[in-house]
Amino acid sequence: MERLLEELALASKHLSDFKDMYEYKNRLKTFTKWPFTENCKCTPENMAKAGFIHCPNANQPDVAKCFFCLIELECWEPKDDPWEEHTKRHSCGFLSLTKPFDDLTMEEYYMLEMTRLRTFLCKIGRSVIKAFEEEVAATRQRLVDNFVSKHQYTPLPPVPLQADPPVQHSESSYSQSKRIQEK
């Protein structure tokens, strides 16, 4: 449960922080320690143009995440085009903008932001469900282990569900349904 709360707190922080990432210059600022800077397609400028922000960790210095659709990519190579890598893996509302962000109307921005929020909520929802399912499985296992140790009980393996046998119609029920259809 603690992990779940930490995840929710981090997601809430990202939701707030990422709204500033609509601006190219803010995305570009995240690439201060990006390993690919020259003679390649995945320069910080190209990464930021494709909606990515740099999110390195101790094991992977080249992790980049789209601030909008939250796709996270790693193991970049100099020949990788950020726009292509992004579009071939995920449909993103930010990438489908037909004009610069600064030229959006208030209504267009509102709709775009609603899409971004929906994406965040769906991702958080899936994460919460997964964490809850893991917690339920762990609790169930603790209960079974406790019961087995106290009562020397050996649980039976689960019985597979069997499909219901096919329904067979008698001659008379078939004839009745046939007469009803003919009327």
Amino acid at 168: Q
Residue 173 has pLDDT above 60, yes or no: no
The chain-wide mean pLDDT, for the chain, equals: 82
Total-model pTM: 0.66
The structural domains of the chain, with segments of one domain joined by +, span 2-129
Given the candidates 1.10.1170.10, 1.10.3720.10, 1.20.1260.10, 1.10.10.10, the CATH classification of the domain at 2-129 is 1.10.1170.10
**pLDDT tens by residue, 17-48:** 788 898 999 999 999 999 888 889 999 999 99
Residue 34, Cβ neighbours under 10 Å: how many? 20
Q: Provide DSSP, 45-57.
A: HHHHHTTEEE---
Angle at 13 between CA 8 and CA 19, to 5 degrees: 125
User: Which pairs with CB-CB distance under 8 Å and at least 24 residues apart come from 89-92?
Assistant: 90/66, 92/51, 92/66, 92/68
pLDDT band, residue 106 (cuts 50/70/90): very high
User: Which pairs with CB-CB distance under 8 Å and at least 24 residues apart come from 1-4?
Assistant: 1/131, 1/135, 3/131, 4/127, 4/128, 4/131, 4/132, 4/135
**pLDDT tens by residue, 127-149:** 888 888 888 999 999 988 888 77
Range from 10-14, 15-19, 126-130 carrying the lowest mean pLDDT? 10-14
